Amino acid sequence: MKLKTRLIVAFFTIIILPLLLTIIASLGIGTYQIKSMEEHFDIESEEYEELPNTIHMLSKITKQIFLKLKELSAEEPSKLEDLNYLQSVNDELTNKYSYLIVRKNGNILYNGGGVSQEGLLAQLPAYGTYESDLDNGLYMGGEIQALVKQVDFLFADSSQGTVFVVTTMDLLVPQIKSLIIDMFVAMLAILVFTSAMLTTWIYRGITSPLKKLKKATQHIKEGNLDFTLDINSDDEIGELFHDFEEMRARLKISAEEKIQYDKENKELISNISHDLKTPITAIKGYVEGIMDGVADTPEKIDKYVKTIYSKAIDMDKLIDELTFYSKIDTNRIPYTFHRINVSQYFDDCVDDVGIDLEAENIELHYFNYANKDTLIIADAEQIKRVINNIISNSVKYIGNKKGVINIRIKDVGDFMQVEIEDNGKGIPTKDLPHIFERFYRADSSRNSSKGGSGIGLSIVRKIIEDHGGKIWATSKEGTGTCMYFVIRKYQEVPVNEQDINSRG
């Protein structure tokens, strides 16, 4: 869960959860208060819905006593002059937070609440002005707020009498106070619980991933990149984990590439050292032969000098290849692209390589199927390097048999395809996918006389790919190898199409 979402959830939880818990607490406290009121006020379950109506509820709690007094006033009014009886009724009303007042001919006969003449007594209704029923009473304000239920009757001597059942609102204060205290404690507990729960939830959601991240940074600090950072969330921290894991993976790849690069450089140095040592040893031997007088005829001297020159050329090619490799490694190959006529260019290239192949006693067959006007965009010097490297590679592996090299130029739609095929010993199937990799040699024997740094074909691939082309090879052991590469043809854009593109 995203941190933003987590905070939104926390916000609404702070609002909704306390509200729900308050409702639950209110129901629980309400149930407790109702039971308490049942004990004190004899409220029945079907009367619970009347609890919000305070006046009506106060009237209900004295209903039974009021009914008994009303019946007594009609059937046996003399008993309402018995002070002992009136005291017993008043004691019963006291348990219901009420008291009894009896008036005769305007004078107070019995005052169970001990109120003064200046207070509630002065406000009591006169005889005959009001009479309550079982469920209703008269609310009276002032200093003493009370609900008064009244029954008018005649004593045995025909004197006017009135019975008042008075329930004061002050008697509800203990219940209300208890309710307020209980609700305050409940609300406080709910807020503490909600805050603790949300704090723990957010804290765990942040600190647990941070501990993992800290452990991961410690691994990197110690140089250990062989670990995986578990990503099991899609929040902001999960995104941070993803970026960190991607950084770790890239650092690991970079470290592995550096190791591989160092290994390749060591291999290159080893190859170059070996391949330079061979012609240098030969040059040294032939020079010593001339100096020692072994070459004692003009023919031998001429042969020795030509051999020395040939070995010097090999060294020059090797150094040139190494120099070009350094430019590849730093992406600083100097390209100069021009429009080149395919037929003319490859005709000239074949003429050049034909002289060298003739000296090697290798037959060259050339087939140009390209249209005379076909053009490509290329660097002439670098494409010639490609052809020379491929042919040089073929010459190395033709061996002692009669060598044949076929060069074919074909139009394949949007591309020109060049095929250079030899009848050498071929490349093993397991080695074929790797021949364009740097320093890879199908023949790794150091006793091989074929030489080479192992970077020639990697240079070829780099140049072709920089021209937007592609290179690949097919081979069969004992039969030969065919190298293919393609370069996109140059096509003029019609004038009207140029106008449309410029408007767009």
- Whether the full predicted model's pTM is greater than 0.85, yes or no, is no
User: Which pLDDT band, with edges at 50, 70 and 90, does 170 fall under?
Assistant: low
Output the CA–CA distances (angstroms, integers) from residue 485 to 156, 409, 411, 468, in the order listed.
136, 10, 12, 11
Options 3.40.190.10, 3.30.565.10, 3.40.640.10, 3.10.20.90; CATH of 337-488: 3.30.565.10
SS3 374: coil
Average pLDDT over residues 392-416: 88
Task: Please answer whether residues 77 and 156 qualify as being in contact, where contact means their C-beta atoms are separated by less than 8 angstroms.
Answer: yes
CA 133 to CA 137: how far, in whole Å? 7
Percent of the chain with pLDDT over 70: 78
CA 327 to CA 352: how far, in whole Å? 26
Average pLDDT over residues 154-181: 77
Percent of the chain with pLDDT over 90: 18
Average pLDDT over residues 458-463: 89
CA 171 to CA 98: how far, in whole Å? 8
Higher pLDDT, 88 or 500: 88
Which among 145-154, 222-231, 284-293, 476-485 has the top mean pLDDT? Answer: 476-485
SS3 130: coil
CA 144 to CA 489: how far, in whole Å? 111
Is the pLDDT at 453 greater than 90, yes or no? no
Q: Where are the domains of the chain?
A: 1-222, 337-488
Query: Which pLDDT score is estimated for 267?
Result: 72
Task: Output the six-digit token pair for 93.
Answer: 């009303």
Which residue pairs, CB below 8 angstroms and at least 24 apart, start in 295-304? none
Q: How many residues make up the chain in this entry?
A: 504
Q: What are the counts of helices (DSSP H) followed by strands (DSSP E) for the chain? A: 11, 12
Query: Which pLDDT score is estimated for 56?
Result: 63
Task: Single out the residue of 386, 445, 407, 398 nearest to residue 426, CA to CA.
Answer: 398
Query: Which pLDDT score is estimated for 493?
Result: 62
Which among 130-134, 158-162, 269-273, 471-475 has the top mean pLDDT? Answer: 471-475
Q: For residue range 171-198, what is the model confidence (pLDDT) as tens digits?
A: 555 666 676 777 778 777 877 787 777 7
Is the pLDDT at 285 greater than 50, yes or no? yes
Q: For residue range 359-397, what is the model confidence (pLDDT) as tens digits?
A: 888 999 999 998 889 999 999 999 998 999 899 888 888
